[in-house]
Amino acid sequence: MKHLLLPALAAAVLAGCSTDLDINAEYKDITIVYGLLNQRDSVHLVKINKAFLGEGNALDMALVADSNEYSGEAITLAVVERLNGSGTVVETYDLHDTLITNRDPGTFNAPVQKMFYFRTPFYTQLNTGRVFLDQEGKYRIKLVVNGKEVTSATSIVNDFPIHPVDQDTSGIQTSRVGLMNSQGTAYGEYEFNWESRRDCKRYVVHCRFRYDEVRGADTIPKQYVTLLGTRVATTIDGGEDLALSLAGESFFSGLAGYVKSDPTWASASSRHFRGMDFLVSVANEDFHTYLTLTEPVSGIIEDRPDYSNLTNAFGIWGSRYTKNVIGKKINGNTNNELENGPYTADLQFE
């Protein structure tokens, strides 16, 4: 009787309530900006959107461009300024709108979306190639959206040295990766080392193992990518020695799980190692803070403070950088383990 009474009472209470409940607040113009600068790029994309509110399903509204994109007359100023070390504006670049026509379907409207971009000329030559932003200065975005000024300035991630620096003339590192001990009798670790530079805060390093699959007359390039980890510099002043290790047994077991043995292969089929690459992605302090506050929650406390480094807007205006070490070889003991070890012997590496 108790189980029957509670639903009946709840239904009676709900029936006696008014259904004229409006949960929507009064509309407020909220600007959202996402821009990540990379000194390797000559064209820089910026996303400028608005928050939306209305009656009905928000997921349905998100698929309509007018819900989250400003009309042309709403943005009356859109520039990016280069500031020197003393904060003086030395160059100004106009932001132009453009349409991206190949966005994959998702929560928001696709395949066409409005973006903004600006171009920067060749700035200088580093040992890693041409760059297009001043890594000693700052870049400030300035917008006027519906009469509201939106601004933010961010530093540019500096280039940094990777050790060891024994490179040949083509820039390819010649030292070999060792994942076994010197006798080849037990698994070891390969340590990847680098030195931090100014305005570099978070480093994420991946290892890419490249190989070819040869099936009869067909050669198919393939790759296996694994995460070494993340390091956060204690200071943005630079000069800090940092390292991450690639554990031998974890690497071989992961490779075996990814490649998998194929009993249908003909005897003429084989796999051939082509090189190991180390891929480093770097975030400046602004971007690092944003990433930290938006990472999945792993503890008991789930509340996160809202973060934005823009005035009168939400989002992130930051910088990132990528630096890759391409074509490292493996030493003899590691190669022998690849061909004959317990994890990979049946993968037919030669």
Domain boundaries, the chain: 28-155, 162-283+319-347
pLDDT interval class at 64 (50, 70, 90): confident
pLDDT, tens digit (0-9, with 9 covering 90-100), for 77-87: 999 999 998 89
Please tell me if the domain spanning 28-155 has the same topology as the one spanning 162-283+319-347. Answer: yes
Q: How crowded is the C-beta side of 287, counted as CA atoms within 13 Å? A: 25
Any idea what DSSP says for residue 135? T
- The pLDDT score that the predictor gives to residue 126 is 84
311's CB contacts (< 8 A; 6+ apart) are: 149, 150, 151, 152
Average pLDDT rounded to a whole number, residues 176-187: 91
Total-model pTM = 0.85
CATH architecture, domain 162-283+319-347: Sandwich (2.60)
Bigger pLDDT: 335 vs 175: 335
* Strands 43-50 and 89-94, sheet pairing: unpaired
Bigger pLDDT: 306 vs 99: 99
Instruction: Of 60-64, 103-107, 217-221, 229-233, give the lowest mean pLDDT range.
Output: 60-64
Q: Is the pLDDT of residue 21 over 50?
A: no
Topology of domain 28-155 in CATH is Immunoglobulin-like (2.60.40)
37's CB contacts (< 8 A; 6+ apart) are: 44, 133, 139, 154, 156, 318, 319, 320
Q: Which residue has the tokens 């890693």?
A: 128
Residue 107 class from Cβ within 10 Å (0-12 exposed, 13-18 middle, 19+ buried)?
exposed
Q: Is the pLDDT of residue 145 over 60?
A: yes
**Residues belonging to the chain:** 350
- The pLDDT score that the predictor gives to residue 303 is 67
Cβ contact 156:162 at 8 Å: no
pLDDT interval class at 264 (50, 70, 90): confident
- The pLDDT score that the predictor gives to residue 129 is 84
- The pLDDT score that the predictor gives to residue 329 is 93
- The pLDDT score that the predictor gives to residue 304 is 67
Average pLDDT rounded to a whole number, residues 320-327: 93
Specify which residues 219 forms β-bridges with: 214
Q: Which residue has the tokens 């012997």?
A: 345
Specify which residues 97 forms β-bridges with: 116
Any idea what DSSP says for residue 300? S
- For the chain, how big is the Rg over CA atoms in Å? 27
83 vs 124: CA distance, rounded Å = 16
Q: Is the pLDDT of residue 141 over 90?
A: yes
Q: H or E segment at 336?
A: helix 332-340
Instruction: Of 21-25, 148-152, 269-273, give the lowest mean pLDDT range.
Output: 21-25
31 vs 49: CA distance, rounded Å = 6
The average confidence (pLDDT) of the chain is 86
Structure-token pair, residue 277: 């690459």
265 vs 319: CA distance, rounded Å = 47
Average pLDDT rounded to a whole number, residues 183-201: 94
Average pLDDT rounded to a whole number, residues 222-232: 97
**What is the percentage of the chain residues whose pLDDT exceeds 70?**
83
47 vs 116: CA distance, rounded Å = 6
* Strands 43-50 and 31-38, sheet pairing: antiparallel
- The pLDDT score that the predictor gives to residue 106 is 79
Specify which residues 205 forms β-bridges with: 229, 280
Average pLDDT rounded to a whole number, residues 323-335: 93
* Strands 270-283 and 202-215, sheet pairing: antiparallel
pLDDT interval class at 189 (50, 70, 90): very high
